[in-house]
Amino acid sequence: MLETTNLFFNRAADYLDLTEQHRDILRTPNRVVRVEIITESDDGGLHHHLGYRVQHSAARGPMKGGLRYHPSMDEDHAASLASLMTWKTAVANIPYGGAKGGINCDPSKLSESELYRITTTFVELIKEIIGPTRDIPAPDVNTNPQIMAWIMDAYSKFYGFSPGVVTGKPVDLFGSYGREEATGRGVMYVLEECLSDQGRKLADVTVAVQGFGNVGSNAARLLAERGSRFVAVSDITGGLYNEKGIDIPALLDWVREHRGVEGFPGADGVPGDDVLTCKADVLIPAALEEAVTVDNAKGVQAGIVVEAANSPLTAGAHDVLVGRGVTIIPDILANAGGVTVSYFEWSQNIQQFRWEEARVVEELEKIMRRAYRDVASLSASASLDMRTAAFALAVKRVVKAAALRRSVRQALPPALLG
């Protein structure tokens, strides 16, 4: 995964004419931390997990990035996702660097009290390197507002009242209105911008979405409200297909009750992977990384892929699709809505002032549409695919900030500093 992120980075670095030494500096994380988390299980035994936090870059501000609880979590994942966060916050042009972390565990096998102990022990072990002006975690796969509340509480026990240490908190505990749906909302705005360039509207398209968690389900709800027809949906329990359109509000009710899309009566059950290759105008991968590979990329029928998940395409799949003229809205642009509203939440926490939901939505819309326009115009003017354009824009912003701090200045191409 890190290899893929670095390959995309290198394409932008080629375009920007960066030296090997500058590339090395920009690719290398500032700090990599691995901790051993030993906690008591409910039956009196022991749990033993590894926790990670990779802080990639602080050139543009305090580092920001989610915490993922998943059996596949390791240093490579954390490093790749941390570097994506650096480029994502730069594309959105919000004053943050990038970090990521998590715990190698399967939360479906843990009780709430076990999860609580694992989370608070993790905070104790990394408390010196996080903080409102250092590194601010947030939710990611299998972590949620409740877990963020525990993190705030555990950190505050050491350092005093610190709501700004973590974002994605519950609205009743210093969270922001609109955070939970923010990533899905951002997906909607960038898709709308992309379609408008093609003379189309959200109501004109059919959509397939892989993953129906926080990001996938909120994107689906908001797009369906604007008339997009969802023909296929999948999650870990399986896939659904209905050419006439899946009733998204009814599916949301079903998933709340049954904890998965499987068995939903308003569509045919299909293998989950079929959702990636079914007939639809737009494909939204919103689950985990590397869902589309060179093998199944050949079968993708959508003309637009919106990367709601991080790294859902391998580099090979990306190149196959771009070669076929498919428009790919890359992760570092498409899913930046979450970190953008996290930034609003952090700003509100620091000022002890709450924004109304309407203001959150309005400011998010401005940032997402502007980010899309910045990337699309570089893509058009420099004949770059959208991903290389997004990375180039981001790397340029990070290099400029690092140069102003004098942490990288020597031998930079003058065009980068202008």
Residues taking part in catalysis: 100
Task: Classify burial at 5, counting beta carbons within 10 Å of its beta carbon; exposed 0-12, middle 13-18, buried 19 or more.
Answer: buried
H or E element that contains 416: helix 414-417
Distance of alpha carbon 180 from alpha carbon 164, whole angstroms:
17
**What minimum distance in Å lies between the beta carbon of 410 and ligand NAD?**
35
236 binds ligand NAD (CB under 6 A): yes
Residue 373: CA count within 13 A, CB half-sphere? 6
**Which residue in this structure is represented by tokens 């502007």?**
370
Based on CB atoms, which residue is closest to ligand NAD, 152 or 288?
288
Give the residue among 304, 312, 310 at the shortest CA–CA distance from 283.
304
Q: How many CB atoms lie within 10 A of CB 359?
A: 14
Query: Which of these ranges, 201-209, 229-237, 321-329, 362-370, lies near ligand NAD under the rule CB under 6 A?
Result: 229-237
Based on CB atoms, which residue is closest to ligand NAD, 212 or 400?
212
Give the amino acid at 399: V
Based on CB atoms, which residue is closest to ligand NAD, 51 or 139?
139
91 binds ligand NAD (CB under 6 A): no
83 binds ligand NAD (CB under 6 A): no
Cβ neighbors of 381 (< 8 A, separation 6 or more) are none
Cβ neighbors of 292 (< 8 A, separation 6 or more) are 276, 285, 300, 305, 312, 313, 314, 317, 321
- Dihedral sign computed on CA atoms, order 341, 346, 348, 354: positive
| Angle between helices 75-92 and 386-404 in degrees, nearest 10 | 80
Q: Assign residue 103 a region: left if phi > 0, alpha if psi is -120 to 50, beta otherwise?
A: beta
Based on CB atoms, which residue is closest to ligand NAD, 95 or 271?
271
Length of the chain: 418
Query: Which of these ranges, 26-34, 137-145, 195-203, 364-372, lies near ligand NAD under the rule CB under 6 A?
Result: 137-145
Based on CB atoms, which residue is closest to ligand NAD, 18 or 79?
79
84 binds ligand NAD (CB under 6 A): no
Total binding residues toward ligand NAD, as defined by CB under 6 A:
24
C-alpha dihedral over 221, 371, 166, 34, to 10 degrees?
Answer: 110
171 binds ligand NAD (CB under 6 A): no
Pull the structure tokens for residue 2.
Answer: 């890190």
**What minimum distance in Å lies between the beta carbon of 222 and ligand NAD?**
14
**What minimum distance in Å lies between the beta carbon of 345 and ligand NAD?**
12
Based on CB atoms, which residue is closest to ligand NAD, 263 or 413?
263
Based on CB atoms, which residue is closest to ligand NAD, 164 or 238?
238
Return the residues of window 250-279 that contact ligand NAD according to CB under 6 A: 272
234 binds ligand NAD (CB under 6 A): yes
310 binds ligand NAD (CB under 6 A): yes
Cβ neighbors of 405 (< 8 A, separation 6 or more) are 59
Per-residue string for binding with ligand NAD, 322-351, x by CB under 6 A? -------------x--x-------------
166 binds ligand NAD (CB under 6 A): no
**What minimum distance in Å lies between the beta carbon of 206 and ligand NAD?**
19
3 state DSSP class of 383: coil
**What minimum distance in Å lies between the beta carbon of 260 and ligand NAD?**
7
215 binds ligand NAD (CB under 6 A): yes
Report the residue from 86, 120, 121, 142 that binds ligand NAD according to the rule CB under 6 A. Answer: 142
Return the residues of window 276-305 that contact ligand NAD according to CB under 6 A: 286-288
Q: Which residues bind ligand NAD (CB under 6 A)?
A: 139-142, 183, 210-216, 234-236, 272, 286-288, 308-310, 335, 338
